[in-house]
Structure 1
Amino acid sequence: MAGKRSIFEEVGTSEKPKETPRGGLIEKGSKGARKGIRIWLMVIFALVMAMIAVGGLTRLTDSGLSITEWKPVTGALPPMNAADWQSEFEKYQQIPEYQLQNEGMSLSEFKSLYWWEWGHRNLGRVIGLVWALGYAGFALARKVPTGWHKRLIFIGALGGLQGAIGWWMVSSGLAGERLDVASYRLAVHLGLAFVILGFIAWYVFLLGRTEPELMQARRAKDAKLFGMSTGLLHFAFLQILLGALVAGIDAGRGYTDWPLMGGQVLPPDPFYITPIWRNFFENPALVQFLHRMAGYLLFIYGLVTWLKGRKSANRATASAFTLMMAVLFLQVILGITTLVHGAPLALGLAHQVGAVALFVAISRARFLSHYPQPQSVRSA
């Protein structure tokens, strides 16, 4: 039985002192190699952007059908001798593009087309290899942050799907009377490339901060601005798909006057193809008209979003929306310039790269409206 205690005796001196709370518990299990993975994803982003540019050149030079077979592994090697080149050329001579458009083409002319498509496909293989080696390295080293395995595998799966869709697109031009690939398949192919870019960009933004920082920033989210920028991103994506339809049927070279088309607001014979729905994919005049109108509406909506974003109390967020508006304005000017000059190779490529810049600028502004950067009260 315990003895009596003095009223002056300190209580609990024999108990162990409580441990001081330790911070960073959220981050402890999720940190991983955030910086290294971020750099790796940025490399893949640059490669995908280059892929889009090379794909645009392949389309503008009519090189996309020069390789008539899909060989994911053995196709990495080009023809190694004269017999191989002749064999590839003979295969090309069996498709409608050669028979109806390029009959009489020389072997040297065919080679110039072949190298563009070969480079395009091999760049895709390089992207797949960079993803596979990078993911395997981080996974084996157990450096993938908690919750990021599915995200990184998702990027790889989209890349594999893109390769299959690329062949689905090319195969549409190898039979029948079509001189090029189907425009709607081209739109799907380009659209998926931008989906991949969008996810990579978002992941790069997320990896630029720690998990606790993101959780803290999310409390200051501007829901209204985030919703408007999300709508703008989707609208820009729709415009990109319309641009792919324009490129797929060379619709940008039909009416080079601006702001009218053939001296009219609505171009002549906008619905001459039957059934009527095919006009929205195959009628050059109507497809270009839709691309123009969507561009005007996108600019107006972008302007409204910018007017909202520039008033943000967060300086980084406001600056991001101002940059987005500047890129949108330049893209509209570049689009008009490309049009009135008949979509030459250099301007067409610049316009496509401009679409990538706009897509990323909108994505960044959207991200900062969802995860504002910390700033002092004085800065605000």
Structure 2
Amino acid sequence: MASTDLATEQRLRSELDTVSRNRAQIRIWLGFVVLALFALVLVGGATRLTESGLSITQWKPIHGVIPPLTEAEWQEEFALYQQIPQYAQLNSDMTVEGFKTIFWWEWAHRLLARSIGLIFALPLAFFWIRGQIEPRLKLPLIGILALGGFQGFIGWWMVSSGLADRTEVSQYRLATHLVIACLIFISCLWIGRGLAPHTDDPAPTRSSKKMAAIIACMALFQIYLGALVAGLDAGLSYNTWPLMDGSLVPGDLFVQQPAWLNLFENPKTVQFVHRIGAYVLFAFVLMHMIASLRSAPDTTHARRSVLLFVLVTIQAIIGITTLILQVPVGWGVAHQGGALIVLGFSIAHWRAFVGEYPRPLAIEVRG
């Protein structure tokens, strides 16, 4: 009987080791995906800030991987760009050499997006075939893959909005594109964090988990507001802080009718709401940190709340500097990257309160 118990325990230990190894490998893979997505968002931000997003006027998911290789091909690509309003109204003096600069930004953005599809899909197939993916993770991972494919369509839907009647893409579609990218980013982080070991420290307060969830949702919403600001070029005006147009609450915020339209199409209102969103997020993170430190200062959760506050503070400083300097490309990209870091850390912080995924074993190993 003793030998049977020992054999069972050894088998269970072996299964637990296999699960741990599989989880570690999947977590590393998702970590690479998250880093690639982070780079993609930064390149996308630079593409927007350099007004390069409309330089490629056709959607060629496969053939588009190959850029122009000859002067004739460059002339052909440039001729297509010359047919859209952005060229006629803003860049009519642009040469082929100038066009190449904006082309390479958009081409790099699209190539990186395609590459992420492979970085996600090929390892997913590998782990799936080898039986390393736990049943509870299969549907979520397939969902992320499907959302990534849909994001490709959304990207073209966004670009197409600037090819006929506008000189830039629709702020609505830009915000949709960025939010979906963030949802993919969040999903990979959520699953990866759930596969990692978690601390046994209790939550500092009964509301800590709820507050962490609220902060994460607010961080995502703030990114959405930032996309509207970018889409309207709202950061290029009212470049003072803490006053805006000479006061804390500027006038003419609701001059358009119906009034709700100002929240999406009035650059002044959109920038003001983005500022207010930043203040509210800062206040919630500060309250969360104070409550955590008062209740359980020595816990991992409390220490994370401090780091989250530091990240939000740094992001606020970057945002203010970006505004005052009238959105230079480097600072604009740094602000977008900082937003993604705050979002990612807030998601990981929230996920820590939820806990690690249960081990797929019904029997615990003794000792």
Q: Give your verdict on TM over 0.5.
A: yes
Q: Who is 1:68 aligned against?
A: 57
Q: Who is 2:279 aligned against?
A: 296
2:341 aligned to which of 339, 354, 357: 357
1:119 aligns to 2:108 (yes or no): yes
Tell me if structure 2 keeps the 8 A contact 1:97–1:180. Answer: yes
Q: What is the CA–CA distance in structure 1 between the aligned matches of 2:19 and 2:43, rounded to whole Å?
A: 37
- Are the structure 2 counterparts of residues 144 and 128 from structure 1 closer, same or farther at C-alpha, using a change threshold of 3 Å? same
The answer to which of 298-307 and 136-145 deviates more is 136-145
Q: Who is 2:320 aligned against?
A: 336
Give CA deviations for 1:233-263 in whole Å, capped at 9, x if unaligned: 1111111100111111111110011111111
Give the CA deviation at 1:114.
0.5
2:229 aligned to which of 246, 271, 280: 246
Tell me if structure 2 keeps the 8 A contact 1:198–1:360. Answer: yes
Give CA deviations for 1:301-345 in whole Å, capped at 9, x if unaligned: 111111122333662111111110110111111111111111111
2:216 aligned to which of 214, 218, 233: 233
Tell me if structure 2 keeps the 8 A contact 1:31–1:146. Answer: no
Tell me if structure 2 keeps the 8 A contact 1:222–1:370. Answer: no
The answer to which of 16-25 and 229-238 deviates more is 16-25
- Are the structure 2 counterparts of residues 236 and 157 from structure 1 closer, same or farther at C-alpha, using a change threshold of 3 Å? same
Specify the code of the residue in structure 2 equivalent to 1:299.
F
Whose helix proportion is higher, 1 or 2? 2
Give the CA deviation at 1:83.
1.8
Q: What is the CA–CA distance in structure 2 between the aligned matches of 1:290 and 1:105, rounded to whole Å?
A: 36
- Are the structure 2 counterparts of residues 205 and 223 from structure 1 closer, same or farther at C-alpha, using a change threshold of 3 Å? farther
Q: Who is 1:198 aligned against?
A: 186
Tell me if structure 2 keeps the 8 A contact 1:334–1:351. Answer: yes
Q: What is the CA–CA distance in structure 2 between the aligned matches of 1:73 and 1:187, rounded to whole Å?
A: 25
Q: Who is 2:363 aligned against?
A: none
Q: What is the CA–CA distance in structure 2 between the aligned matches of 1:185 and 1:218, rounded to whole Å?
A: 42
Tell me if structure 1 keeps the 8 A contact 2:297–2:303. Answer: no
The answer to which of 147-156 and 125-134 deviates more is 147-156
Instruction: Report which of the two structures shows the higher radius of gyration computed on alpha carbons.
Output: 1
Unaligned runs of 5+ in 1: 1-15, 373-380
Q: Who is 1:4 aligned against?
A: none
Q: Who is 1:308 aligned against?
A: 291
Tell me if structure 2 keeps the 8 A contact 1:41–1:204. Answer: yes
Specify the code of the residue in structure 2 equivalent to 1:297.
V
Give CA deviations for 1:279-298 in whole Å, capped at 9, x if unaligned: 21221111111111111111
Tell me if structure 2 keeps the 8 A contact 1:63–1:113. Answer: yes
Give the CA deviation at 1:140.
1.8
The answer to which of 334-343 and 52-61 deviates more is 334-343
1:185 aligned to which of 166, 173, 188: 173
Tell me if structure 1 keeps the 8 A contact 2:59–2:156. Answer: yes
Specify the code of the residue in structure 1 equivalent to 2:68.
P
Tell me if structure 2 keeps the 8 A contact 1:226–1:366. Answer: yes
Q: Who is 1:270 aligned against?
A: 253
Give the CA deviation at 1:29.
8.6
Q: Who is 1:20 aligned against?
A: 5
1:346 aligned to which of 330, 343, 347: 330
The answer to which of 259-268 and 16-25 deviates more is 16-25
Give CA deviations for 1:70-128 in whole Å, capped at 9, x if unaligned: 11111111112122111111111111111111112111111111110000000001000
The answer to which of 101-110 and 50-59 deviates more is 101-110
Specify the code of the residue in structure 2 equivalent to 1:92.
Y
1:172 aligns to 2:155 (yes or no): no
Q: What is the CA–CA distance in structure 2 between the aligned matches of 1:109 and 1:102, rounded to whole Å?
A: 10
Q: What is the CA–CA distance in structure 2 between the aligned matches of 1:313 and 1:257, rounded to whole Å?
A: 37
Higher relative contact order (CA 8 A, sep 6+): 2
Unaligned runs of 5+ in 2: 357-367
Tell me if structure 1 keeps the 8 A contact 2:285–2:305. Answer: no
Q: What is the CA–CA distance in structure 1 between the aligned matches of 2:160 and 2:30, rounded to whole Å?
A: 31
- Are the structure 2 counterparts of residues 204 and 30 from structure 1 closer, same or farther at C-alpha, using a change threshold of 3 Å? same
Q: Who is 1:317 aligned against?
A: 301
TM-score, with structure 1 as normaliser:
0.86
Give the CA deviation at 1:147.
2.0
Q: What is the CA–CA distance in structure 2 between the aligned matches of 1:357 and 1:248, rounded to whole Å?
A: 21
Tell me if structure 2 keeps the 8 A contact 1:220–1:371. Answer: no
Give the CA deviation at 1:20.
2.7
Give CA deviations for 1:115-153 in whole Å, capped at 9, x if unaligned: 100000000010001111111111122222332222221
Q: What is the CA–CA distance in structure 2 between the aligned matches of 1:365 and 1:28, rounded to whole Å?
A: 26
TM-score, with structure 2 as normaliser:
0.89
Give the CA deviation at 1:156.
1.1
Tell me if structure 1 keeps the 8 A contact 2:204–2:301. Answer: no
Name the SS of the counterpart of 1:64 in structure 2: coil
